[in-house]
Structure 1
Amino acid sequence: MLVGPSGSGKSTWAAQHYRQQEVVSSDALRAVVGSGESDLDASADAFALLHQIVAGRARRGLTVVVDTLGLDPDLRDRLREQGRLAGLPCVAVLFETPEPVSRQRNAVRDRPVPARVLGQQHAAFALAREAVAGEGWDEVRHVVDSAAPTQERGLAAAPSPSPAAPSERGRPRPGPDVVLQVSRFPWGADPAGWLRSVAIAADHHGFAGIALMDHLIQIPQVDRAWEPIPEPWVTLGLLAGLDTDLRLGTLVSPVTFRAPGIIAKTVATLDVLSGGRAFVGLGAGWWEREHRAFGLPFPPATERLDQLETCIETLHALWDKGTKAYAGSRVTLPETTAYPRPVGRPQVIVGGSGERRTLRIAAALADACNLPSDEDALSRKLAVLRAHCAAVGRDPSQVAVTVLDLPVVGTDRDDTWRRVERLRGRTAAAVFARRHHAGEAPAHRERYRRLADEFGVSTVFVGLPDLDGPDDVARLAPVLGLS
């Protein structure tokens, strides 16, 4: 709800900060139902339409910016209650524009507001300023405008990112590492060329690595079943041959697909070929369909979690020094002759957030645990993970925290919402936008820094739901904060 006299800059500010479809202007609606914006005889019809639009958008959970004078307390109450009924946060934005400035602006309008009326509006604004503080808004913000371009205290739009430097490779990254997760492969007639172009773009723009999903059939959350999804370790071998600094691995590999020793051999080989850049995400597997389709057993969850423990213990045994026999809690090996050894010690990331068993396995055996990026869910899961660390006698700092994020990233608000509409399917637009944190790069960059600062997240795996090629990698690049 914008509150301020005529000429205070409300409409200009709204146009700078919001999409045209998100702003509901009483003046504009007078032009729709009357002869023009100054047709006061059309006010009743204009406000009836305004309330209908506000109610419709609010029901769908969509942002709505009400651009009226906002000086009538009854109107503020009614609109605030519409937002409350829809469960939306309600914010009043007060425009603290000096009266001489608004009079100067008013004087150059085609149809200026009479001087006496404008004076009355400023007097009413002084009363509104006092009243709004006690009206129950979730937030009250103030915009200070003294004739220069609008600057707002606490709600200013983030500046547009500057063009990327020739290469961000090797530059220190503020905030957490950001690894590009590639989950769809619209590679056309040149699969290897498409993969190379995406990887080279990711390295050029400063991404820390590339992660691939490990599935046998494309999952419905990403694309249609008949779209390609390559075997990840073969694909990562191709990427290891490129001149990049990218870390390479999976997020995540089901332990039901390959024997533990084969996973150990595969990851060690990739680590050697890439010069120590391999990591492996491991999980218990979840999709029965792909197991049945490829003739693989799909045991109950308890057995699959047993396999997860066995697999991690096997990796540790086969990556250790020497060839001696190994006898552990779940694994007994007559020898550990496994060459080549990894260059270093590839990071083992447990994917999954089951609180009783999965997080306990991560606490006891893993180098990292991949959790949801939603802050409320992340906070809950971290508390459980730390409790498991305490129970098994392990310092929580020894288990790095990573998250998987599937954001919608637009170049501006209009582009963001075009992407939401294209991607959302039958999901309500506002629900889809919230679920995928739809917004522009600066907002995502701040969110990732907050995940690092407040939750200790070391790596964000970012999977764009509309990744088509290297241009989309460039669109995502400003999230890293390097440009």
Structure 2
Amino acid sequence: MLTLPEPCLVVLAGPGAAGKSTWAAAHFRPERIVSSDALRALAGAGEDDLAASADAFEILELVVERRVRRRLTTVVDTLGLDAERRRRWIALAREHDMPCVAIAFDTPAAECRARNRARTHKRIPAEALTRQLRDWARTRELLKDEGFSAVHLEAPARTVPDAFLGAEPAARRQADEPARLRFGLHLGEFKGVDVRETARAAEAAGFDAIYVMDHFRQIPQIGRAWDDFLESWTTLAYLAACTETVRLGTLVSGVTYRNVAHLGKIAATLDVLSGGRAVCGLGLAWFQEEHAAYGWDFPDVRTRYALLEDALQLLPLLWGKGSPRFEGRVLTVPEAMCYPRPKQERIPIVVGGNGERHTLRLAAKYADAANVMGDLATVRRKAEVLRGYNPETALTHLTTALVAADDRGVEALVEAGRGRRPREAYAAAVHAGTVDDHIGRFRELAEAGVGEVMVRLPHPDCLEPMARVVAAFKDDAVGAA
């Protein structure tokens, strides 16, 4: 199975009757295929109207250019024997930062001729097919040096977001030598969501933790300001009574939202009521409009970093014994006292944010884990930075996962969720893939140094297949190997 990047420009190359149109129709939706034959029918009297060829190719070039400009996966279904056109398509894809892949149809000449003879229409004149076969023999040798992102021989194919390009071999590694990875369900939407049933289902599915986004109105990346949105720590307290084993935390609480000592008391209370399952996520806070709407101060970045560093020092002190005084850079707490103390000796602190110079440094110095976002290359780089500060600090990763059992299920969920967004952009944003795709992706993250992934599922139907992904990284799977 060929795994092609999504989006990409796919150039089919081979003689007539080699199977190019059949292959394209089998693996791509019709709107993705730009066919010279179909455009000949549009510009002329039919697909075999050779007099319309020049107009058809003029339209083809325009359609390909416009689709690539919009970064839409496009399959160019022509002979692909014109070197100048191939160079132009490669340059076009490169201009718009899109991979350009060639699919070579090296069908034996005798088979091409037999297929052509069997045709009831669009039969290629024998002398023309002979020329094409001769041209193909030369073209086949040129393809590998023309600058294509990849050249593949014809085979069953599927397109996937970049995140899954290395997933197939990684999934095999996970099957052969399973790695352990913890999973948290991240709740970032509450409109129409039964949080109790969602939490119970997540616990039954094998998730290790449930995290809620700590905001007071929906963020613009996900929805509208007036969408239903629950207060985080109140929600976690409710979930403590609805669940038995999952850890419960915020990802992450902005340090500007609450008096820090009060936040420590809230987290300690959750830990007591949940039997030692609280996790305290902390971050710099970024949503300025939210602060303005609630009448909160939104200090400059330097002040917020000072507040974050103070919070990271104060909270463990507050959760400890006695009532010591705390004097920080911007915080003063005369009595850092919290009774009852948390059930855990230390409530785990996770610092969220992508800043490498400040955020990761603070996480490495004071916290138990750093939570980062981004693609695999970004995670690898941040893991290296974090190890440079403190190799003992755990790395966690926040991501979205649209998961289905197979490609057909993925396609249905993408169509259900994308709205007016291009399929390619939505699929990449939510990491739309099969169970095996996600097993491979999370294996690569584990190999990069991630110990826990916090996953937002954009559709309720993702929970069951996601449970299969989680199971592949559980102790039972590791032990079975």
Give percent identity, aligned residues only: 40
1:449 aligned residue: 443
1:77-132 CA distances to partner (integer Å, 9 max, x unpaired)?
Answer: 23223323333222212123334444454454332445554444333222111111
Structure-1-length-normalised TM-score: 0.79
Q: Which residue of 2 aligns with 1:76?
A: 86
In structure 2, do the counterparts of structure 1 residues 228 and 266 end up closer, same or farther at CA, with 3 Å as the change threshold? same
User: 1:142 is matched by which residue type in structure 2?
Assistant: L
- The answer to whether 1:440 aligns with 2:446 is no
Partner of 1:93: 103
Q: Work out whether 1:473 is the aligned partner of 2:463.
A: yes
Q: Structure 1 stretches of 5 or more lacking a match?
A: 145-149, 162-171, 390-394
Correspondent of 1:405 among 387, 391, 399: 399
User: What corresponds to 2:24 in structure 1?
Assistant: 14
Q: Does 1:178 align with 2:188?
A: no
Consecutive unaligned residues of structure 2, counting only runs of 5 or more, are 1-10, 169-176, 474-481
Residue 422 of structure 1 aligns with an amino acid whose one-letter code is G
Structure 1 distance, partners of 2:343, 2:111, is 69
2:37 is aligned, of 21, 27, 33, to 27
Secondary structure of 1:440 counterpart:
strand
Pick aligned residue for 1:57 from 67, 70, 74 = 67
State the partner residue of 2:348.
347
SS state of the match for residue 91, structure 1? strand
| Counterparts of 2:56 and 2:139, CA distance in 1 | 23
SS of the equivalent of 1:249 reads strand
Letter in 1 for 2:264: A
Q: Which has the higher contact order (CA 8 A, sep 6+)?
A: 2
Query: Which range moved further: 224-233 or 111-120?
Result: 111-120
Partner of 2:46: 36
Alignment RMSD (CA, Å):
3.6
The corresponding residue for 1:167 is none
- 1:13 match: secondary structure: helix
Matched residue SS, 2:419: helix
Q: Corresponding residue for 2:154? A: 143
TM-score of the superposed pair, with normalisation by structure 2: 0.79
**Partner Cα distance (1:365, 1:423) in 2:** 44
Answer yes or no: is the 8 Å Cα contact 2:261–2:336 preserved in 1.
no
Work out whether 1:281 is the aligned partner of 2:281: yes
1:178 offset after TM fit, Å? 3.4
Aligned to 1:314: 314
- Return 443-452 or 274-283, whichever deviates more: 443-452
* Structure-1 residue corresponding to 2:419: 422
Q: 1:129 to 1:357 in 2, by over 3 A?
A: same
Deviation of 1:57 (Å): 0.7
Moved more, 59-68 or 344-353: 344-353
Kept in 1: contact 2:206–2:471 (CA 8 A): no
- Specify whether residues 41 and 175 from structure 1 end up closer, same or farther in structure 2 by C-alpha distance, changes over 3 A only: farther
Give the counterpart letter for 1:308 in structure 2: L
Q: Which residues of 2 match residues 193-342 of structure 1 at below 5 A?
A: 194-243=194-243, 245-320=245-320, 322-323=321-322, 325=324, 334=335, 336=337, 338-342=339-343
Tell me the amino acid that sits aligned with residue 138 of structure 1: S
Matched, 1:368 2:369: yes
Whether contact under 8 Å (2:380, 2:449) holds in the other structure is no
Distance 1:423 1:445, change over 3 A: farther
Query: Does the C-alpha gap of structure 1 residues 86 and 217 become closer, same or farther in structure 2, counting only changes over 3 Å?
Result: closer
Structure 2 letter corresponding to 1:473: L
Counterpart amino acid of 2:146? E
Q: What letter matches 1:471 in structure 2?
A: D
Runs of 4 or more above 6 Å deviation? 326-333
Which SS does the other structure have where 2:89 is aligned? helix
Q: In structure 2, do the counterparts of structure 1 residues 329 and 216 end up closer, same or farther at CA, with 3 Å as the change threshold?
A: closer
